[in-house]
Every structure is written in C-alpha cells, then in structure tokens.
Amino acid sequence: MLHVTLTSAQRDAVEALRRDPSLRPAERDRVEMVLLSASGCSVPCIAAHFACCSATVRRLVHRFTPDNLRSLRRQPPGPAPDWAHRQQIGQALDRLLAQERTWTAAQLAQALAADGLRLSARQVRRYLQLGHARWRRTVRSLHHKQDPARVAAAKAELVALKRGLRRAS
C-alpha cells in the first residue's frame, strides 16, 4: 500500500499549512489528502472521499516530500518569468511611446525589432496591457496641415455663398 510517512515535526508543519489562509481550496484538499494518507487511509478510500480519480491521489503521494511543503502548492505552468527581459522591453516601449506620434502594435513590433527585441504584434499588445501604454487621442482636425491663405480664401467664399453672391470664376 502507498502511504506517506511523517514525523511529529513534519505532521505539525503540515497541520500548520492546513490553517494557512492563503491556501486555495484545491491546495487545502491536497494537504488533507496527505494527512489522510499519513493516518493510514488507502489511496482508493482517499479518492472516494474527495470524489477524484485515484491516479490523482497516487500522483500527489508520489510527488510529496515531507521536507518540501511547496509541492502541495499550485505551481504555475511553464518557465519562470524573465524579469530582466520584461524590463528591457518595458523601457524600449516607454521610449517609443514618448515620441510625438501614434503607433499600432505592428509598428511597435517593427521598431522593437530594430532594437534587437523580436516580438509579434500580439505580444506587443500584451505588454501594452501590462501598463506600458499611455492612451493618446489622435488629432481629429487637420489644422496643422492646412495652408492659412487657402483657409482664408475658402472661408471668404463660404461667406459669399451664404449671402447669395455668386462666385466670380
């Protein structure tokens, strides 16, 4: 039969973990499974008590080491985040977004590639959602592109049309 063997100090540590308020319900169930296994319950009995598959209980019992209680906690999938790389991308995005222009995610990805940071437009959007973006309203008018002399002539023509005067062509 498959059982967990705990010393009194290890049992006290697992009992203390059971009362930890930061535990999620699934993690609390894992702690209970270990304690039931240490008290002599069989794997099928524990699986029936928690309404789960016996392979789940077996996997937990095999994986559990009394010296490492972190094995009862949920481990995020994948590798650990590369914080230095994230910071480098964040600094590059801050530098690009400080420019006086608007960007699309694809344009930012191309600009980051020039710095040696290869990201897709989708990845750039995710970094922007993490807080590196500052929303900038695009310019709604064309005042900065208009010729003042042509604007004055057009306004005069509009006033003349409103008065009913014909345009002299």
pLDDT in tens, 62-74: 888 888 888 888 8
Mean pLDDT across the chain: 86
The number of folded domains in the chain is 2
Does 88 lie in the same domain as 55?
no
Taking residues 40-47, report their average pLDDT: 93
Does 94 lie in the same domain as 38?
no
Does 61 lie in the same domain as 87?
no
pTM of the complete model beyond 0.85: no
Residue type, 166: R
Taking residues 104-109, report their average pLDDT: 92
Residue 162 forms part of a structural domain: no
Does 90 lie in the same domain as 112?
yes
User: Can you give the pLDDT at residue 124?
Assistant: 92
Residue 57 forms part of a structural domain: yes
Tokens representing residue 105 in the block: 């995610």
Identify the CA nearest to 14 among candidates 71, 87, 62. Answer: 71
The answer on pLDDT for 19 being more than 60 is yes
User: Can you give the pLDDT at residue 67?
Assistant: 81
Task: For the beta carbon of residue 66, count every other beta carbon within 10 angstroms.
Answer: 17
Question: What band does 57 get if pLDDT is binned at 50, 70 and 90?
Answer: very high
Place of tokens 């996997």: 59
Does 58 lie in the same domain as 20?
yes
Contact 33, 54 (CB under 8 A): no
Q: Please spell the DSSP secondary structure of 106-121, one letter per residue.
A: HHHHHHHHHTT----H
User: Can you give the pLDDT at residue 72?
Assistant: 85
Contact 82, 75 (CB under 8 A): no
Taking residues 70-82, report their average pLDDT: 84
User: Can you give the pLDDT at residue 131?
Assistant: 76
Residue 168 forms part of a structural domain: no
Does 68 lie in the same domain as 14?
yes
C-alpha to C-alpha distance for 22 and 30, rounded to whole angstroms? 14
What is the extent of the structural domain holding 88? 83-132
Q: What is the pLDDT of residues 107-166, one digit of tens each?
A: 999 999 998 999 999 999 998 888 766 666 655 666 667 788 888 999 999 998 888 866
Does 123 lie in the same domain as 88?
yes
Contact 30, 60 (CB under 8 A): yes
Q: At what angle do helices 43-50 and 25-38 cross, to 10 degrees?
A: 150
Contact 66, 6 (CB under 8 A): yes
Tokens representing residue 32 in the block: 């209970």
Place of tokens 């590798």: 79
Does 93 lie in the same domain as 55?
no
Does 88 lie in the same domain as 43?
no
Tokens representing residue 15 in the block: 């009992």
In terms of pLDDT, which residue wins out, 102 or 142? 102
Taking residues 39-60, report their average pLDDT: 93
Does 88 lie in the same domain as 116?
yes
C-alpha to C-alpha distances, 139 to 100, 101, 102, 132, 145, nearest whole angstrom: 11, 10, 10, 21, 11
